[in-house]
Amino acid sequence: MSSENNLKLNSIYAFKEGMSTVFDESGTAIPVTILRYAPWYVSQVKTVDNDGYQALQLACEPRKQKNSNKPDMGHFKKMGQETSFKFVREVRVDNLGEVKLGDQLTLESLIKGDVVKVTAKSKGHGFAGSVKRWGFAGGPATHGSKFHRQPGSSGNRTWPGRVMPGKKFPGHWGDATITVKNLKIVDVNLDENVVLVRGAVPGARNTLVKLVKV
Residue 214: predicted pLDDT: 93
Q: What is the per-residue pLDDT across 172-194, written as a single tens digit (0 to 9) for each?
A: 999 999 999 999 999 999 999 99
Q: Domains in the chain: how many in total? A: 2
* Residues 164 and 86 reside in one and the same domain: no
DSSP secondary structure, the chain, as one string: ---EE----SEEEEEEEEEEEEE-TT--EEEEEEEE---EEEEEEE-HHHHSS-EEEEEEEEPPGGG--HHHHHHHGGGT-SS-EEEEEEEE-S--TT--TTPEE-STT--TT-EEEEEEEPPEEEEE-HHHHH------SSTT---SS-------BTTB-SPPTT---SEEEE--EEEEEEEEEEEEETTTTEEEEES--SS-TT-EEEEEE-
* Residues 49 and 133 reside in one and the same domain: no
* Residues 118 and 182 reside in one and the same domain: yes
Q: What is the model's pTM? A: 0.89
* Residues 91 and 193 reside in one and the same domain: yes
* Residues 179 and 165 reside in one and the same domain: no
- pLDDT above 90 (res 56): yes
* Residues 86 and 136 reside in one and the same domain: no
* Residues 64 and 29 reside in one and the same domain: yes
- Mean pLDDT for the chain? 95
Q: How confident is the model at residue 97 (pLDDT cuts 50, 70, 90)?
A: confident
* Residues 19 and 44 reside in one and the same domain: yes
Q: How confident is the model at residue 28 (pLDDT cuts 50, 70, 90)?
A: very high
* Residues 63 and 150 reside in one and the same domain: no
Residue 143: predicted pLDDT: 98
* Residues 152 and 52 reside in one and the same domain: no
* Residues 88 and 53 reside in one and the same domain: yes
* Residues 56 and 10 reside in one and the same domain: yes
- pLDDT above 80 (res 3): no
CATH for 55: 2.40.30.10
- pLDDT above 80 (res 208): yes
Q: Which domain covers residue 157, as residue numbers?
A: 129-169
Q: What is the per-residue pLDDT across 135-155, written as a single tens digit (0 to 9) for each?
A: 999 999 999 999 999 999 999
Q: How confident is the model at residue 17 (pLDDT cuts 50, 70, 90)?
A: very high
